Amino acid sequence: MNQSIKRIGIMTGGGDCPGLNAVIRAVTRKAIMENHWEVVGIRDGYNGLYHGNFVDLDLFNTSGILQQGGTILYSSNKDNLFQYQVEENGNKVIRDVSDVGIMNLKQAGIDVLFVVGGDGTLTSARDFSRKGVKVIGIPKTIDNDLASTDATFGFSTAVDVATEALDRLHTTASSHHRIMVLEVMGRYAGWIALHAGIAGGADAILIPEIPYDIDYVAAKIFRRKELGKDFSVIVVAEGAKPKNGEMVVQAVVEDSPDPIRLGGIGAKVAHDLQTLCGNESRATILGHLQRGGSPSSTDRILSSRYGIAAVELAEQGKFGNMVTLRGTQMSYDSLENVIGHKTKNVEPTSELVRAAKSLGIVFGDEKVDVYRVLNQNK
């Protein structure tokens, strides 16, 4: 046990995610039961660090939260203390107020800060580490796009939700001879769409890593009609884009560290396919349903493992690192390296993509006799 540690703090930043409470629970239980450390929760992410919004955590108030969605510490995805909006003389200006957060940690007697978040939240964690704060990072994102770890918690639950949605859309698609398009999250990575599409028996999967030709997707639908299947189900990642086209941006949030909000590609794909194929088409945007609710058993276990491994890093004095999953083993990587990596994206020639294609799923990049099929059905 690290004798220099008496009190630790834990915060959750960025978007909410199934499994956050399981991490909080695991960190708290191991820290108290094995190391006799005091544990402090920091509410509302970095905003709570700035305002000193702290709460003591113990075995009692972290009991019963393993299966609970969201985060009991709340979160914020707009607060970066290195570029924080403050009011001066009636004007809103951007200032580096990170020293205020460091002062609040010192006044609270917090020796180690555990930061649970994705790339934006962990970027600030790295910056605090550079300023001498003892930081341990824990990766969180349903998008599964952090390069230094094989899996992030929250991803499994998001895939389960999307898979169930595809199952339900199949029945409506079949009943009404429709094309049903499901738009899922993932930002610039197609992991959720790829996994859910395979698990849910989608006819086409459109992801950011493989720009699509809508005619190739239409050809798949026509082939299904020739086989007597007068309906189709398509899953589209929110960052998918047509060849020589752009991603569909729903909104730009100026005061956010990540201002681009993707969304709307599902409606575009549904419209284009209805025009080409003639079937009535509908788009469903799954949205935040993927991030809410109780975590899957896989995410509960992974979250707990991450929490335990994070405390073990602190015990060993390995600060400035993020816990990772490598194969079946827990490991770690430096925050400097984590933030320096590009995001982890789907490799278009990967075994999983090849497996999907072997199942007859198209990605809109196939060079088949598309125009022959299209002309036959005009």
Residues with a known catalytic role? 143
Q: CA 318 to CA 129: how far, in whole Å? A: 12
Task: Quickly tell me which residue has 């970027």 as its tokens.
Answer: 123
Residue 258 neighbours by CB under 8 Å, 6+ apart: 77, 120
The torsion angles phi and psi of 232, rounded to 5 degrees, stand at -150, 155
Cβ neighbors of 164 (< 8 A, separation 6 or more) are none
List residues bridging with 140 in a β-sheet: 153
With beta carbons less than 8 A apart as the criterion, state whether 291 and 154 touch. yes
d(CA 226, CA 208): 29
d(CA 240, CA 186): 10
| Whether 178 contacts 172, CB under 8 Å | yes
- Name the one residue in this structure whose structure tokens are 């109780």: 294
Instruction: Write out the two tokens for 44.
Output: 């509302």
> 245 and 211 in contact (C-beta within 8 Å)?
yes
